[in-house]
Structure 1
């Protein structure tokens, strides 16, 4: 999952008004009808820079009507935002390539130009399509009016801290029951897959090719299981194995996050003259631990925000998942700010913390967190008893004092309405090209290997000694990965054998986590 930062102004509405605004007063068309989209400009207003980028590429946008409840195709409907950058080399057109950026609930339409750039010359041969999942991106939101953008917190240092977080999560769930009860049952990966198939039909395609990033790999896997035979070429980057999402999405990722943090600490140690965090990786990690223990014992402030045992670990966790030079430098600057605040009691935020802290402490992006959590609680609700989480925290704390209390902490899901459907059993085999870094802290490499074994027809690209989450695209700059992915998308032939690519060490603009904050493992 990645915390997305949007630019839209959201007006708070009462629950009844919000639901009325979101649901259509007309019935959704039957699935078989699949009317063609009514295309229009992607530019919403003069400040819509993403729409302007799309317009320059020849994109057109539309809203495909889908049922709120797919068991009632004639009932209330939603509009699902779609953007299409059409193929320009129509003589050699391959087909439609649909993208999902992860999350769940990450926007897709606004980031479509980045994927177009990654395709290079191949982009001329595809209709490149972005579909914002229901309640996300340009779609009408599901908003519980939270005082934060994410439920993600650390359980803290003791039982009292865990109890505070249990109350915090219970309150978030109560707000959703109050303000979004009519929508919660319909935010799920299975419904997103159903929507995707209606988009496929509306586009007039018998089959679609698919590029899924992080959580988008899970959506793609579910889609192939629910709608067999409707995919052509599939690329899965940052690969989830569905059974490993249980009992909850972040469970068991302590070690991979520690490995990523140590890798960064080695980077920072080689630049101690610039950042002053320590001359060895161990010394830098000792600095991290001193800041952590200070936040627990004597909370300090950064700007107007209080940094304590529940928040400090999340800040460190949230910046992992991207090992580009500029990202490593940003982490070093952030830790320098936290080190100063721990020593003096206060510091002013650096640019990174200036973005992260409002997301944690204000409801500016409440809709994103609300929608993401709704998907997660439908797909991987986890145990209903908070004590199960507390025991997991205690088991993990001694060996993993920084990350154990985060990835095992209670979530809003124990207090959420029970899911309407069971998770999809993905028991098929689909030809696909999978990509994963060995040090991925969001989706461990072991999951990619497990999914590759479950789909024997697939091939796996392993990026060695990389700690980035999701590696295909212009941000990471891996000619090895990009070349292999684009070659497959061009001719439809998987590599004869699995591939190994070296890590790329670029310093360019990020198209994934660099424009979004990766709070949790399902991104």
Structure 2
């Protein structure tokens, strides 16, 4: 997960002229004389129950998903590949809309900005709003909810880089020689990818996604968009707001990205936050030493887990019923889990202290045995495009460290974070990327902005929320948990989000997902 950047605008007289066409009818919004594309409405895709459950929808909500899909409008908007050449090559941006159910009291439209970069947002009006909980569903009463696939993702125009031939990393302590081979392989893969279609890949930036979104706005006939952003979508929201302050309504950004795009700093800050949060986990486990046996004080738990990391790196274990070997990185991965998983992670760590035999202990198998990427069911939509993830991240990464710099940083990371640091690899995502660095300029504006920071999480470090406020302003909304983008999943917090979009008012924060008893 990484974050990004900037844009221009086309002022049109479409606002207020477009009714809400039905997807089945195929009615398009009127085109403007300046050549901006209309929405080409079409039938929405059909999904099997298996696909819907694969999207994370609980079995008892599948029928509700089907009902919402009947209300969902689906279409595309044609936009320039290169916004500096509006008359040049065009690409399609796929969008969806759930029209407000109370049209007579409609307040406007809320665009849901997905994470990633590279995540799909096509079904977000259903998954992140109408189907999430009663509080979020309420947003759809007086607001249209807009979803979209960013360029390079899902149903929008995209490309695929040549796949990397790199196999899995050897288990155990990562030696410098092995790390250099990984680095060199990454350089070669990045060069293959970046040179495969530079005309398209060079246009995958947060700035261009924001420009696309503004053309979606004009095609929909909206004078402004309210923004609900998650993870990388918060950076997209910052960029959109910086470029189009006059077209930005209220903006609520959850798990805020930093106002910069260096991957090396991102990794360093996240690793330190994960280690800090492990201190909370260690204290929780210490109070339950009778159950877990990992130490009666937080310091003892820290020492025990650091010892486990070292032991399993020196002597990795292979189990007949696990695909992945268990080494120090697997132990560290357990140690950086958020509070919703402390109980299971504690059991798994305890099992690893005394594990014998050819098969994995039960909780270890439960937590580390699932394949990372299963084969999607036939007809499933793309949920993450790794080519787009790589291209946006690397087009905007100002670090692109050489091997010696990256290796030195990794050694320092391990030294400073003995329990969780091994879960992070050498931060070498973008070396060798052959396309130029493109970074956005964030700007302050007077519009309404709420920055939701989670006090203890590491995927979006809380200090990034404060940095972002200093950079562009806004109100900080503090969520007292360690769970990435949890705000809208907690009824108490979701009610604040819904109230904000209706009234513009927001509390100082909420508890978020509770730490286990």
User: What TM-score, normalized to structure 2?
Assistant: 0.77
Matched-pair contact (CA < 8 Å) for 1:278–1:287: yes
Q: How many residues align?
A: 462
5 Å-filtered alignment, 1:49-64, equals 49=52, 54-57=65-68, 58-64=71-77
Q: 1:469 is matched with which residue: 479, 484, 493? A: 484
Secondary structure at the counterpart of residue 61 of structure 1: strand
Structure 2: distance between partners of 1:412 and 1:292: 24
2:369 is the counterpart of 1:354: yes
Greater Rg, structure 1 or structure 2? 2
Cross-structure match for 1:88: 101
2:275 is the counterpart of 1:263: no
1:198-247 CA-partner distances (Å, limit 9, x unpaired): 21112111100000112111111111122231110100111223137465
Q: 1:489 is matched with which residue: 485, 493, 501? A: 501
Secondary structure at the counterpart of residue 383 of structure 1: coil
Cross-structure match for 1:131: 148
Secondary structure at the counterpart of residue 249 of structure 2: strand
Calculate the aligned-residue CA RMSD, in Å: 3.7
Relative to structure 1, the CA distance from residue 313 to residue 328 in structure 2 (aligned partners, 3 Å threshold; closer, same or farther) is closer
Matched-pair contact (CA < 8 Å) for 2:259–2:471: no
Relative to structure 1, the CA distance from residue 315 to residue 167 in structure 2 (aligned partners, 3 Å threshold; closer, same or farther) is farther
Higher deviation after alignment, 348-357 or 237-246? 348-357
> Once the 2 structures are TM-superposed, how far is the Cα of residue 291 of structure 1 from its aligned partner?
3.0
Higher deviation after alignment, 151-160 or 350-359? 151-160
> Once the 2 structures are TM-superposed, how far is the Cα of residue 346 of structure 1 from its aligned partner?
5.5
Structure 1: distance between partners of 2:137 and 2:109: 16
Secondary structure at the counterpart of residue 278 of structure 2: helix
Structure 2: distance between partners of 1:119 and 1:222: 25
2:475 is the counterpart of 1:459: yes
Secondary structure at the counterpart of residue 63 of structure 1: strand
> Once the 2 structures are TM-superposed, how far is the Cα of residue 34 of structure 1 from its aligned partner?
2.5
Cross-structure match for 2:37: 34
Higher deviation after alignment, 73-82 or 44-53? 44-53
Secondary structure at the counterpart of residue 376 of structure 1: helix
> Once the 2 structures are TM-superposed, how far is the Cα of residue 293 of structure 1 from its aligned partner?
1.3
**Where does structure 1 differ by over 6 angstroms across 4 or more consecutive aligned residues?**
148-155
Relative to structure 1, the CA distance from residue 149 to residue 166 in structure 2 (aligned partners, 3 Å threshold; closer, same or farther) is closer
1:337-383 CA-partner distances (Å, limit 9, x unpaired): 65566x55762763432335558xxxxx9973332122111122413
Relative to structure 1, the CA distance from residue 247 to residue 285 in structure 2 (aligned partners, 3 Å threshold; closer, same or farther) is closer
> Once the 2 structures are TM-superposed, how far is the Cα of residue 70 of structure 1 from its aligned partner?
2.5
Structure 2: distance between partners of 1:426 and 1:261: 33
Q: Structure 2: any 5+ residue segments left out of the alignment? A: 3-31, 56-61, 375-381
Higher deviation after alignment, 37-46 or 331-340? 331-340
Cross-structure match for 2:235: 218
Structure 1: distance between partners of 2:413 and 2:84: 42
2:345 is the counterpart of 1:331: yes
Relative to structure 1, the CA distance from residue 391 to residue 284 in structure 2 (aligned partners, 3 Å threshold; closer, same or farther) is same
> Once the 2 structures are TM-superposed, how far is the Cα of residue 155 of structure 1 from its aligned partner?
11
Matched-pair contact (CA < 8 Å) for 2:332–2:422: no
Structure 2: distance between partners of 1:336 and 1:137: 41
Q: Structure 1: any 5+ residue segments left out of the alignment? A: 3-28, 360-364, 508-523
Cross-structure match for 1:109: 122
2:78 is the counterpart of 1:65: yes
Matched-pair contact (CA < 8 Å) for 2:277–2:456: yes
Matched-pair contact (CA < 8 Å) for 2:261–2:398: no
Relative to structure 1, the CA distance from residue 163 to residue 439 in structure 2 (aligned partners, 3 Å threshold; closer, same or farther) is same
Structure 1: distance between partners of 2:416 and 2:444: 37
Higher deviation after alignment, 114-123 or 253-262? 114-123
Matched-pair contact (CA < 8 Å) for 2:444–2:472: yes
